[in-house]
């Protein structure tokens, strides 16, 4: 079985780390900047970065509609941080006009951890990836304030959901890709059925 080809939306954000983590998880990671590149992928990572900038660039590069169509057609997504904001049904504290893709039945609040906690690392209990905690980074992270009925919570931090699954999609408010632990990517890749 060939390694699944997983795109990483490469308009902005921490693309390189995801490509490395995907490789470590047994997938072929490819940068995606165009609809043609998107069409070659079995799944897509939406990285962290800045959701407002990413949404603007998606419009500028005429990628918003193809991305929406691909997801509606069943393209599984791994969304991290800003990527989760992009996919959420409701964005709180978004910029005027920030609409997102409305794929995930979540309400998320941008930058909800406040200034003094802009960034922190955490050993997160994440049973779906194994018994040992995953070292992850929260970087100006959003907070998931509401989840719909079809959303399964996979991990919580201080009682609040920080990793969720909806259908083929995994969405995280943290960064799993910068601490060198590929287990979250492995969970996503394993769900594609190709490894």
Residues that bind ligand GLN (CB under 6 A): 48-51, 81-82, 85, 110-111, 139-140
Those residues with Cβ within 8 angstroms of residue 88's Cβ, 6 or more apart along the chain or in another chain: 100, 102, 103, 104, 106, 107, 108, 171
What is the rounded distance in angstroms from the CA atom of residue 10 to the CA atom of residue 105? 24
In terms of CB distance, is 4 or 13 closer to ligand GLN?
13
Q: Enumerate the active-site residues.
A: 81, 175, 177
The strand pairing partners of 35, in sequence order, are none
What is the rounded distance in angstroms from the CA atom of residue 160 to the CA atom of residue 144? 7
Task: Locate the DSSP E strands across 68-127.
Answer: 77-80, 88-92, 104-109, 119-124
Cβ 1 to ligand GLN shortest distance, Å: 32
| Pick from 141, 21, 167, 150: nearest CA to 80 | 141
Cβ 68 to ligand GLN shortest distance, Å: 19
In terms of CB distance, is 139 or 154 closer to ligand GLN?
139
Cβ 111 to ligand GLN shortest distance, Å: 5
Q: How far is CA 6 from CA 75, 88, 127, in A?
A: 10, 21, 24
Cβ 36 to ligand GLN shortest distance, Å: 26
In terms of CB distance, is 85 or 187 closer to ligand GLN?
85
In terms of CB distance, is 5 or 56 closer to ligand GLN?
56
């Amino acid at each position: 079985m060939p390694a699944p080809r997983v795109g990483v939306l490469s308009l902005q954000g921490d693309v390189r780390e995801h490509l490395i983590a995907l490789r470590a998880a047994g997938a072929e990671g490819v940068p995606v900047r165009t609809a043609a590149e998107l069409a070659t992928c079995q799944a897509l990572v939406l990285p962290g970065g800045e959701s407002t900038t990413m949404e603007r660039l998606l419009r500028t590069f005429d990628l918003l509609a193809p991305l929406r169509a691909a997801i509606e057609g069943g393209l599984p997504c791994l969304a991290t941080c800003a990527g989760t904001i992009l996919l959420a049904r409701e964005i709180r504290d978004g910029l005027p006009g920030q609409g997102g893709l409305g794929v995930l039945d979540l309400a998320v609040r941008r930058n909800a951890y406040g200034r003094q906690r802009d960034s922190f690392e955490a050993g997160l209990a994440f049973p779906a990836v194994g018994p040992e905690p995953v070292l992850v980074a929260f970087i100006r992270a959003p907070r998931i304030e509401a989840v719909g009925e079809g959303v399964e919570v996979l991990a919580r931090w201080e009682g609040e959901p920080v990793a969720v699954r909806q259908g083929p999609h995994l969405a995280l408010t943290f960064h799993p890709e910068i601490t060198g632990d590929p287990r979250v990517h492995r969970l996503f890749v394993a769900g594609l059925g190709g490894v």
